Amino acid sequence: MTLSKGQTALLQSYINQTDTQVSRANFAAPYISNQAYNALMDELGEWIDLSQTGDLNGTNENNTTFTFAGIDQFPRPKR
């Protein structure tokens, strides 16, 4: 699976966050419904699983792609 630039940026922001600020911001954002937030968490889980098998690609800003290595530590956002 190849993520779009936006999806790649989103996943990288979750991977590189400190103190879970990205997940807290998304969870508290008034423009993200509970249903949309839960769908996002499901999608993140799928991406993490795909990264474990080498089947997850990201898209750089210059439209080249790269393969995510197995993401072994990922702060699971709350639902």
Residue 17 scores a pLDDT above 80 = no
pLDDT band at 75 (very low <50, low <70, confident <90, very high): low
Residue 63 scores a pLDDT above 60 = yes
Domain spans in the chain, listed from the N-terminal domain onward: 5-67
Contact 8, 44 (CB under 8 A): no
Residue 64 scores a pLDDT above 90 = yes
Instruction: Return all residues near 23 (Cβ < 8 A) that are at least 6 apart.
Output: 14, 17, 75, 77, 78
Q: What is the mean pLDDT of residues 36-51?
A: 88
